[in-house]
Amino acid sequence: MQLTGSQILVECLKEQGVDTIFGYPGGSVLNIYDELYRHQSEIRHILTSHEQGASHAADGYARSTGKVGVCLATSGPGATNLVTGIATAYMDSVPMVAITGNVSVNLLGKDSFQEVDITGITMPVTKHNFIVKDVNNLAETLRRAFEIAQSGRPGPVLVDIAKDVTANKTEYTKVPIKKIRKKSDTILEEDIQAGLEMIRKARKPVIFIGGGAVISDAGDEVKEFVSKVHAPVADTLMGKGAFDGEDILYTGMLGMHGTKAANLSVTKCDLLITIGSRFSDRVTGNISKFAKNAKILQIDVDPAEINKNVSIHQSIIGDVEEVLKRLNAKLEQQDHESWVNQVLEMKEQFPLKYNPEILTGPYILEKIYELTQGDAIITTEVGQHQMWAAQFIKYKKPRTFISSGGLGTMGYGLGACIGAKVGNPDKTVINIAGDGCFRMNMNEIATATRYNIPIIEIIFNNHVLGMVRQWQSLFYGKRYSQTTLHDKVDFVKVAEAMGAKAYRITKKEEVEVVLKEALSLNTPVVIECHIESDDKVWPMVAPGAPIEEVITEEDLEEKEK
């Protein structure tokens, strides 16, 4: 049948099972929006307050559901406003399709009104991108975009469509979409056997879990593997929930703000089994001293990550779930009781701490965990609050911690929270923010209230850019250049003006009462919590130091004496 490009776009979205799009209209996408109007009972469109919010919402939707997130923007500034969100998704391997309009083909390259080379701009931060100049290529391009976004190591794909393509007609035939197969053709038997041999010989193994285990939905396989290897477990920020944070073998996060138990166990181990992690600099610290006593076995879907940041001894390339299935089928039960007990003693000796006398971020997060029974989806912005959320909430399931890891995008969390709630309407979804981050994206509260998306936004207001101030305190002689935010913005009034229910907490006794009320409401809620300006995230590894030199506040005080 003959359809316009806009009609083909909507039909292709329906083919892919897309039920929600986050976007913002404009001249170059008017034909698309007109067609979406006709299909609003099949595809829900969420109008965000800013295109960046749309990209973050699509990202949060994708991370929390495992499906492809879709965002839509017009040409020029609309398209460029998506770039930070696309880069965020790229760094964390999030399956996303960003659709942008552009000027008509005859106006391309002429500096036309709202024209920009968005494919050129996004080339470094997309898995692939396309510009469609012929309606005959549109359907196939869209299908390829969704396939690329989901296959192998996922990532964002951009499809830029000239305006006249959305109006022109061509023949459209519906195509049944094949399920994306997990990458297994690269899993070599000799690599499996070599990995098994390393595990059998190990006396002090540690299992290190990254975001690849979450992306692969390998939670069951990870649990079985940990049990068979009988080893302590550490994770990355992106790996939260792939292994149960309440399990006795879990030692905490590894790296700059990792636990002492995790950092010291990796330093002392003789085998580091790395599952779906790319060895970020925030994890490794001084690379020359990272896991210096260990052989390293790396399991990853992307061969480009092997030996990129850390030199390893053996790799198994393929989807994490598929690799672990094969290892689990052939691995005998191991016993490392002495080593495990040694690590558990470190875990008991070096617990995470905070000041119990005052209102703090960690106290609020522990109350959230208690009142939600660990069943909420937590999204975060970037900074101290993000690290506390990683440390003090125990993530029992994958896709329940959603945060910008690789790019570290301030302003990410609120949009992601909206996307996660839209994708998981029966779940409690809470965004943890700092006051600096809230300033960057507070306009998306209006999106939540427009559609009555019942999210909870919790702002840790310390009146400073907390993480930057922490570095200034420790490494820049307490010269607080442009990190103090004492001004007259009233977040409660701002939230109420945008239609949200809002609370202010200034002391510990108010926390439980306010949280219980917020959790009982079915409406967007903003809670501003006033905490101390100089609260710090501990433990910490100084930049450039090896991870075993992880220090606590007590260590620092002792050193300064």
Helix (DSSP H) and strand (DSSP E) numbers for the chain: 24, 20
Quote helix, strand, coil % in the chain, to nearest 5: 45, 20, 40
Name residue, tokens 């995008």: 409
Tokens representing 20 are 């929600």
* Residue 425 DSSP symbol: T
Tokens representing 481 are 């250049």
List active site positions: 51, 113-114, 163, 467
Cis upstream peptide for 539 (omega within 30°): yes
Question: What is the residue-wise DSSP string for 26-84?
Answer: -GGGHHHHHHHHHTTTTSEEEE-SSHHHHHHHHHHHHHHHSSPEEEEE-STHHHHTTHH
Asked if 199 and 168 touch (Cβ cutoff 8 Å), the reply is: no
Tokens representing 467 are 């993480």
* AA identity, residue 121: I
Tokens representing 281 are 């600099």
Helix (H) / strand (E) element for 324: namely helix 320-330
Name residue, tokens 């994490």: 320
Length of the chain: 561
Pairing of strands 2-4, 169-171: antiparallel
Q: What are phi and psi of 337, to 5 degrees?
A: -60, -45
Asked if 404 and 412 touch (Cβ cutoff 8 Å), the reply is: yes
Asked if 116 and 75 touch (Cβ cutoff 8 Å), the reply is: yes
State the alpha helices, DSSP H only, in 230-312. 260-268, 281-284
Q: How many CA atoms lie less than 13 Å away from 448 in the CB half-sphere? A: 36
